[in-house]
Amino acid sequence: MNCKEVEEQDIPERYLLDRLTDPEREEFEKHYFECGSCFSRLQTGFAIQAELRHQPPVPARVRGASLRRTWVWAPAFATIVVLVTAGTWWYSTRGKAVPLTKATPGASQPSPPAAPSLEELARVEAPAFSPLVLRGVEDEGQEPFRNAMQHYVKRDYAEAIPGLRAALKASPRNPTFNFYLGACYLLTGQADSAIVSFRKTVSLGSTSYSEPAHFYLAKAYLRKSEVSAAEVELRTTIRLHGDHEAEAADALRQLPK
């Protein structure tokens, strides 16, 4: 698969809507990991799709057309999201008085604590993992997933990646597989690949993984020094009121302005 085929066959749009055949999906995933242009386009699509999930529902017959139209103005949409977020912050802080302390004559004033660097804010602990006991027939992805997570619990994240990719090949819409693959990419310094996996996790709408996926997306963007994108993800994490709310709020306060 090449960029011309991707464009002519609307591959990214069909990928986001889960309308590709298994062979098409596999070929596209091989392509976008090696193509910066298609990779960037897919990231934008995931961001748009995630934002649309927070909008009022639309009839099914126009949902696909809406996404198709949205794709055309994706860069403008991304800019609007950043501007709206920045405007909300500005108005929320406008008018708040900053208390002043009276200096004691002859006393030296303590220096304010140094703001953490982006590298410090991007630091992340591995998401916890507890093996689940499944009842009934397992899908084909469970065995490679179990094998991969044996490496994961030993903190051998690079060795876990092939098994997680194999699990996803068998079950591409499994949010658990997507989330932990994103975590392994992030923990091995592959921020771009982590972003794609976490975006896919968010797009699947899992109540268990949506909030942590947004939080770790923020960490991935901080790794890339993309502060505006990280701010959007931190605010989304806070809005979802999950386990990472307090940590996301603390990171948001420390972002460079």
Instruction: Decide if pLDDT at 148 tops 50.
Output: yes
- Measured CA to CA in angstroms, residue 23 lies from 29, 30, 40, 145 at distances of 10, 11, 22, 21
Comparing CA positions, the residue from 19, 14, 75 lying closest to residue 48 is 75
Q: How confident is the model at residue 176 (pLDDT cuts 50, 70, 90)?
A: very high
Of the candidates 205, 203, 199, which has an alpha carbon nearest to the alpha carbon of residue 218? Answer: 199
pLDDT of 74 above 70: no
Radius of gyration, alpha carbons of the chain: 21
Fold for 121-254, please state it.
1.25.40
The Cβ of residue 34 has, within 10 Å, a number of other Cβ atoms equal to 8
Q: How far apart are CA 32 and CA 42, in angstroms?
A: 8
Could you tell me which residue, 39 or 249, shows the higher pLDDT? 249
Q: Report how far residue 253's alpha carbon sits from residue 93's, in angstroms, rounded to the nearest whole number.
A: 12
What's the average model confidence in pLDDT over 226-233? Answer: 94
pLDDT at 98: 43
Contact 187, 124 (CB under 8 A): yes
Q: Helix 36-52 and helix 22-32: axis angle, to 10°?
A: 120
Question: Which residues in the chain are classed under CATH 1.25.40.10?
Answer: 121-254
98 burial level (CB within 10 Å; 0-12, 13-18, 19+): exposed
